[in-house]
Amino acid sequence: MSIELSKQTRQDAIASIERYFQENLEKYMDEKLGNIAAEALLDFFLLEIGATVYNKAVADAQEKLQGRVMELDMEVHEDEFQFWKKSNRSSNRK
């Protein structure tokens, strides 16, 4: 499964990569990182580590959901066989 980004998200990511290189790595490079190179780098990251990040997010979501499911019985639990307990309380009042 490939990770697809919306056009706007893709543009924002490319701009962010270009800015990162400009502010942090340009002093180590002879050339500026252009738009095409930034886009290629984004594609590399999406293909190479995108699935790892995605899988971790899914695992984290599963863990949270499983925790909530395990708490479900406490949140919606109803005591069983309550008729006689309620009936005994009513007859004790008389």
- CA 21 to CA 63: how far, in whole Å? 36
Please count the CA atoms within 13 angstroms of the CA of 20 that sit on its side-chain side.
10
Could you read off the pLDDT of 9-36 as tens digits, one per residue? 999 999 999 999 999 988 888 888 999 9
Q: Where along the chain do its domains lie?
A: 7-93
**Does the predicted model carry a pTM greater than 0.85?**
no
- CA 53 to CA 43: how far, in whole Å? 14
Distances (CA, A) of 79 to 65, 70, 89: 25, 18, 16
More confident site: 40 or 73: 40
